[in-house]
Structure 1
Amino acid sequence: MTGSAYLDAASSEPLHPAARDTLMAALEHGYADPRRLHGPARNARLMLDNAREVVAACLGVRPDEVTFTPSGTHAVHLGVLGLLAGRARVSPVLAHSAVEHSSVVHAAQWHAARGGEVVELPVDREGRSSTELPDGPLGLVALQAANHEVGTIQPVEQVAEAARETPLFMDACAAAGRVALPDGWAAAAVSAHKWGGPAGVGALVVRKGARWRQPFPGDDRIDERTTGFENVPGALAAAAALQAMTAERDDLAARQHALVDEIRTRVAATVPDVEVVGSADHRLPHLVTFSCLYVDGEALVTELDRRGFGVASGSACTASTLEPSHVLAAMGVLTHGNVRVSLTRDVDRTQVDAFLDVLPEVVAAIRAEAGL
């Protein structure tokens, strides 16, 4: 269909050409276990070290602070629970924003089930976290770099300053490769498929001096923070994609900001009873979410998909449960009939215009079918 588009980059950006080329080459040479001593293993180790150096350079950290993981979720769990383990003698209290990704929420629930305490930090109507922290000693503060569902940039540096000696864990999965990351955090998680790398590759970054302890059964790998055989080809492809995205980040962000501004303006003007949510100014460049009153979000996604437009509805990780988005609920905005549009690097104005042309018709048809 002319103008049709995949508009769900926040779930997974299509594989970047740089990642595709690197992956195909790395599959031939990166098969050996980099922990072994023979020639193929040493070659794999060089490839893994190269991937680590590239990712570190793109994120502005040291190579020995980067550990490749099987996913961004696994990196989140290692980061949150590992920092809590390192602070176990200080405090069992984990404070996190009310709009964190489900991976952080699940880690918090796991921590609470084992005797820990969890405190939620409230957010404003744009989804921005409070910078005021609970009284008393804290074991850890967790705050995302930017919200994965509405795109709002979080005040990480201000919260880190308020936390003082308490370490801050940052979920940077939605932001890495899209915007420059803030300072002030002790550990962070990123996910390759969010920036055009292959799925099944994440990374945990633990800054030097951070008190991190392995929260799960360990392994005899060279890197104490990882378990199991690293995906060497995947790590190298992820690094290639991140390097390419970082190089084009400013130009891409400017183009996507303009397209998202157009979406925000035209949706509000052409769709009755709609609420565009999240910050209009301090946000990820490629993402926008809006909620339509009297419309079922799943029906809206299904009908838009039939017209050739792939979008997301509800929380990216809980839509399949048909539960209201905890992010939108915490913000105090409409929790049903919501659509998240996130632009890939290849989406152009023609495709955006086509989406905006068909959206009012789709919403009106669903409402009419419901007798509204």
Structure 2
Amino acid sequence: MSEPPAYFDAASAAPLHPVARQAMLAALEDGWADPGKLYTQARRARQLLDAARAATAEVLRVRPDELSFTPSGTTAAHAAVLGGLTGRRRVGATLVHSAIEHSAVLHAAERHLAGGGSSTSVPVSRSGRLDLDAWSGAVAGPGVALAALISASHEVGTVQPLAEAAGACAAAGVPLYVDAAQSVGRIPVPEGWSVLSASAHKWGGPPGVGLLVVRKGTRWESPYPADEREAGRTPGVPNLPAIVAAAAALRMVAAEASAEAERLSPLVDRIRATVSATVPDVEVVGDPVDRLPHLVTFSCLYVDGEALLHALDRRGFAVSSGSSCTSSTLRPSHVLEAMGVLSHGNVRISLHRDSTEAEVDRLLAELPGIVADLRAEAGVVGL
């Protein structure tokens, strides 16, 4: 490769923000003690933890005492679902969720089902947008304890109608949990939710920090054994240096979010248009308008997804796949399956603060040839 590698997988993990790196190094020097103790070093650690919580809560427009730090976004999602269901077990045992929730939410739903609960999956359109009529009917059903809706699809970028979905939940008296992992730090999350989770490494913080927000008045009960830390919502000593770094990065990316959206959205539009025009038998999926500013997904017919990702990697492009369909599993992504769109040869491109127009142009120039070569190797020619 004559060009430096281009990283296009920020939806999985954004590169560590420089501010996060600086904050983490400082916190390693000054925040290593247990913030639950009373001696001098511990009090200093507590000050850092409280400041990080306050800064993060300010960005999210919530109270600091509603926010807890967890060991990961997955942990936060599990706690949000299971805690919300446990807290409302006297009302019922039904979880309503969209068909395109993150696997962390669906795995928590599976645990709920194994324990004797029930769930209702609400369909989406071909663009990946929630069927609001079906949602309203589902949350108004008997025995619904909790509703879960992702803020924006992590696989195709479609932004969900959260305000309308929250209104339906409010009318039915059902709390709404929002997985905001792809939205926090990029686009505003509408009000109306009761529980929210997010993950720091999606916005340029370090891995190993999740956010769990439980609004005052929400019936939520920790699914874990009793622990006095983090308001009893998640057990264990918090990773303070990582939390400080996550908070610093979030403040910075939230301040830059509008400008970054204006910069990245036209690049995504260019990818959508150019791929459609230059690669035969390709389907660009997700809503073209109501979408995240940094993410685009397309599927190439007659191409193995795993082979395409490896070919792009050899040419210096780090991309992901919205589909788990590989030669070994032959199982398409549940998100693409729910949308009813093409899942073969699926590529997800997600840009970040260091992504450049030149990198995008290079990808668009090389992609048609890469796809054509893979099709020729598979014996598919003349397209």
Q: Normalised by the size of structure 1, how large is the TM-score?
A: 0.97
Distance 1:222 1:309, change over 3 A: closer
Shift of residue 224, structure 1, vs aligned partner: 1.1
User: Aligned to 1:189, what secondary structure does the other structure show?
Assistant: strand
Alignment map for 1:33-52 (pairs within 5 Å): 33-52=34-53
Q: Quick one: distance in 1 between partners of 2:76 and 2:325? A: 16
Q: Quick one: distance in 1 between partners of 2:327 and 2:27? A: 35
Alignment map for 1:3-152 (pairs within 5 Å): 4-131=5-132, 132=135, 133-134=137-138, 135-152=141-158
Letter in 2 for 1:355: L
Q: Quick one: distance in 2 between partners of 1:4 and 1:364? A: 22
C-alpha RMSD over aligned residues: 1.5
Number of equivalent positions: 372
Letter in 2 for 1:143: L
User: Aligned to 2:129, what secondary structure does the other structure show?
Assistant: coil
Shift of residue 345, structure 1, vs aligned partner: 0.8
Give the structure 1 partner of residue 307 of structure 2: 299
Gaps of 5+ in 2: none
Letter in 2 for 1:38: Y
Shift of residue 338, structure 1, vs aligned partner: 0.5
Q: Are 1:156 and 2:162 an aligned pair?
A: yes
Aligned partners of 2:325 and 2:343 also within 8 Å: no
Give the structure 1 partner of residue 231 of structure 2: 223
Give the structure 2 partner of residue 286 of structure 1: 294
User: Aligned to 2:147, what secondary structure does the other structure show?
Assistant: strand
User: Aligned to 1:2, what secondary structure does the other structure show?
Assistant: coil
Distance 1:319 1:63, change over 3 A: farther
Gaps of 5+ in 1: none
Shift of residue 15, structure 1, vs aligned partner: 0.2
Cα distance per residue 1:310-341 (max 9 Å; x no partner): 00013479999653100000000011210000
Aligned partners of 1:4 and 1:355 also within 8 Å: no
User: Aligned to 1:243, what secondary structure does the other structure show?
Assistant: helix
1:356 maps to which of 364, 375, 378 = 364
Alignment map for 1:235-274 (pairs within 5 Å): 235-274=243-282
Letter in 1 for 2:182: A
Shift of residue 136, structure 1, vs aligned partner: 2.2
Deviates more, 1:172-181 or 1:217-226: 217-226
Distance 1:310 1:200, change over 3 A: same
Give the structure 1 partner of residue 354 of structure 2: 346
Q: Quick one: distance in 1 between partners of 2:210 and 2:327? A: 22
Letter in 1 for 2:62: V
Deviates more, 1:57-66 or 1:298-307: 57-66
Q: Normalised by the size of structure 2, how large is the TM-score?
A: 0.95
Deviates more, 1:126-135 or 1:233-242: 126-135
Q: What's the % identity of the aligned pairs?
A: 57
User: Aligned to 2:297, what secondary structure does the other structure show?
Assistant: strand
Aligned partners of 1:288 and 1:341 also within 8 Å: yes
User: Aligned to 1:213, what secondary structure does the other structure show?
Assistant: coil
Cα distance per residue 1:97-147 (max 9 Å; x no partner): 000000000000000000100110000001111223323231110001100
Shift of residue 221, structure 1, vs aligned partner: 2.2
1:183 maps to which of 170, 185, 191 = 191
Q: Are 1:202 and 2:203 an aligned pair?
A: no
Shift of residue 227, structure 1, vs aligned partner: 0.4
Distance 1:159 1:317, change over 3 A: farther
Shift of residue 44, structure 1, vs aligned partner: 0.6
Aligned partners of 1:35 and 1:45 also within 8 Å: yes
Aligned partners of 1:145 and 1:172 also within 8 Å: yes
User: Aligned to 1:67, what secondary structure does the other structure show?
Assistant: strand
Deviates more, 1:306-315 or 1:68-77: 306-315
Letter in 2 for 1:309: F
Shift of residue 4, structure 1, vs aligned partner: 3.6
Q: Quick one: distance in 1 between partners of 2:197 and 2:17? A: 20
Q: Quick one: distance in 1 between partners of 2:353 and 2:324? A: 19
Distance 1:44 1:17, change over 3 A: same
Q: Quick one: distance in 1 between partners of 2:146 and 2:293? A: 29
User: Aligned to 2:232, what secondary structure does the other structure show?
Assistant: coil
Letter in 1 for 2:229: R
